Amino acid sequence: MAQHETTETKDKLSVWGIFGKIGKAFGVIFSILTMILGIAVATPFFILVTLLNWVKTFIGLALLWLLAVAIYSVLIMNSDGPELSTIYSNTNLLWLMGLSLVAAIMITVADMKE
């Protein structure tokens, strides 16, 4: 028994094809909006966690720098100990802050990937 398509069935098929294309377009738009919303929600948390990690990393590096300079000046240079102004000069603080910022970003990205 042969199936014969009438003009009515062809019209119905073309209408459903149009609805299918419209549905796919809405699906793409919805997925893009969901991705943008997810990024908009996650960005403040990423920034706050990065700032918190920056503070923690800076404190840790500052203590490590203090310990390293104190050990170096006492054991290697045979002096009584460095002054605090020479340990934490403006240049040293700038380098410590920059290094701790890079480390904080790396720590935050590693935490987010887990």
From the centroid of its chain, how far is CA 107?
9
Locate 15 and state its tokens: 């209408």
User: Could you say which DSSP state residue 73 is in?
Assistant: I
Q: What percent of the chain has pLDDT over 70?
A: 86
Tens of pLDDT, residues 4-21: 555 555 555 566 677 777
Domain boundaries, the chain: 7-113
Is pTM beyond 0.85? Reply is: no
Q: What is the dihedral of CA 55, 58, 62, 63, to 10 degrees?
A: 60
